[in-house]
């Protein structure tokens, strides 16, 4: 069943809102968080709408969300997909998913572990000799952001719009990205504390290509896109266009009051296996439901994926997978994503039965970024929890060490 309701009309296009009416699932057993429950309350429809509207109020041209729960689908959308044409955004529009790509890359590598091509505790040097200066770095360290490899995006995007324009049409080789990273000292010793770095998933892409002999995009397609019928999911690198009907992305300059920059067309070569996939809310929900439901890897590999290291008081990281502990005692699993012009938050319940993806078509705007966790609270926690939830401030995964207002 698909449920869609019509909302207000904006100056540039129609608003589409939907009702969400299915309970969330409880968090899984491997960890304990306060106030854990057997089942979550009904979602707060008003709070979900407020989260999407808050994204617009904070500067996003548009925002959308989709919830999948069994055979029931609920869609919500507000605002504009294309500022020039004035077309309203819809929850079916394609978009750049940013770092949600990391979960796809991790899933492919875990399949290769299942096939015996490598082990999680293998040294990266065993498969890519001489790539990394510290031979103690393992595959597990890379996938859990504990390698200490410096994030080259800190330098590429220290200045947001000039940095983007410098790479918009550039095609990088993986080794070029590694050279940018390795020019700086490590941030932690291998196996140390969590330190988010896009470089880790450049290494993941190199491992996939070395072990399979195929481009990473072919492996995504053959192992995930096609088997799951992800008909709106693509890896077009180094092409610059988003295929088909899509929401355009708008990058917020660092200078207050400066005009948004249309950042839709780009190679995304600076990201590749760390962030270059294009998809839809439907396809991301399908992917995460399949992953957490055990359809893509063995149970043993999925358990490894869910071995957590702490990030902060409400988040932990596994292997290319993020855990978020919500205010009502429910934990959800997935990834957030940032790529120029798009913010994505895509998460599912512990058994994969309920999934939600929320998107805003801007970036470099912390006020917009912080609306997306509110959507998760509304969907999984219901009215009372959503009203009292104090959602911690988010940080972008592009240039994560560059602090911006």
**Catalytic hit among 99, 263, 331, 355:** 99
Task: Write the DSSP string, 59-127.
Answer: T-SEEEEEEEETTEEEEEEEEEEETTTTEEP-TT-BEE-GGGHHHHHHHHHHHHHHTTS--TTSBHHHH
Active site includes 99? yes
Please classify residue 396 by burial: count the beta carbons closer than 10 Å to its beta carbon, then call 0-12 exposed, 13-18 middle and 19+ buried.
buried
Is residue 144 within 8 A of residue 319, CB to CB? The reply is: yes
Tell which residue, 402, 345, 346, has the closest CA to residue 372: 345
Q: Do the Cβ atoms of 317 and 333 come closer than 8 Å? A: no
Q: Copy the structure tokens of residue 245.
A: 């009907």
Question: How far apart are the C-alpha atoms of 216 and 208, rounded to whole Å?
Answer: 6
Distances (CA, A) of 397 to 100, 152, 254: 11, 12, 16
Distance between CA atoms of residues 339 and 318, nearest Å: 22
Helix then strand count (H, E) for the chain reads 13, 17
Which of these, 223, 224, 234, 128, lies nearest to 182 by C-alpha position?
128
Q: Work out the burial of residue 89: count CB atoms within 10 Å of its CB; fewer than 13 is exposed, 13-18 middle, 19 or more buried.
A: buried
Two structure tokens written together for 373: 């966790």
Burial class (CB in 10 A: 0-12, 13-18, 19+), 38: exposed
Query: How many CB atoms are closer than 10 A to CB 309?
Result: 14
Q: Is 188 exposed, middle or buried (0-12, 13-18, 19+ CB in 10 A)?
A: middle
Task: Answer whether 75's CB lies under 8 Å from 356's CB.
Answer: no
| Residues with catalytic roles | 99
């Amino acid at each position: 069943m698909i449920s869609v309701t019509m909302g207000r009309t904006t100056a540039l296009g129609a608003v589409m809102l939907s009702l969400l009416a299915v309970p969330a699932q409880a968090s899984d057993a491997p960890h304990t968080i306060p106030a854990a429950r057997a089942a979550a309350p009904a979602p707060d429809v008003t709070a979900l709408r407020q989260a999407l509207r808050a994204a617009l109020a904070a500067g996003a041209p548009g925002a959308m969300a989709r919830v999948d729960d069994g055979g029931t689908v609920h869609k919500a959308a507000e605002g504009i997909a294309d500022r020039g044409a004035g077309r309203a955004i819809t929850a079916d529009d394609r978009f750049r998913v940013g770092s949600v790509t990391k979960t796809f890359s991790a899933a492919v590598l875990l399949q290769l572990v299942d096939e015996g091509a490598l082990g999680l505790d293998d040294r990266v040097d065993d498969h890519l000799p001489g790539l990394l200066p510290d031979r103690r770095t393992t595959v597990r360290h890379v996938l859990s952001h504990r390698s200490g490899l410096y994030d080259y995006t800190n330098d590429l995007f220290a200045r947001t719009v000039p940095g983007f324009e410098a790479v918009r049409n550039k095609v990088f080789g993986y080794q070029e990205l590694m050279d940018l990273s390795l020019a700086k000292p490590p941030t932690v010793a291998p196996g140390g504390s969590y330190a988010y770095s896009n470089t880790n998933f450049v290494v993941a892409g190199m491992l996939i290509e070395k072990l399979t002999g195929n481009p990473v995009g072919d492996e995504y397609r053959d192992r995930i896109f096609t088997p799951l019928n992800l008909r709106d999911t693509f890896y077009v690198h180094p092409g610059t266009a988003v295929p088909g009907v899509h929401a355009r992305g708008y990058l917020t300059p660092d200078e207050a009051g400066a005009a948004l920059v249309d950042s839709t067309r780009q190679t995304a070569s600076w990201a590749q296996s760390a962030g270059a996939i294009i998809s839809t809310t439907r396809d991301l929900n399908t992917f995460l439901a399949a992953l957490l439901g055990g359809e893509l890897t063995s149970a043993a590999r999925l358990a490894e994926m869910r071995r957590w290291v702490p990030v902060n008081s409400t988040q932990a990281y596994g292997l290319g997978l993020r855990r978020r502990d919500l205010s009502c005692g429910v934990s959800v699993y997935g990834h957030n994503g940032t790529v120029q012009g798009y913010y994505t938050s895509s998460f599912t319940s512990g058994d994969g039965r309920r999934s939600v993806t929320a998107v805003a078509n801007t970036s470099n705007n912390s006020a917009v970024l912080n609306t997306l966790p509110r959507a998760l609270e509304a969907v999984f926690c219901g009215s009372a929890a959503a009203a009292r939830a104090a959602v911690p401030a988010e940080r972008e995964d592009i240039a994560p060490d560059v602090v911006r207002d």
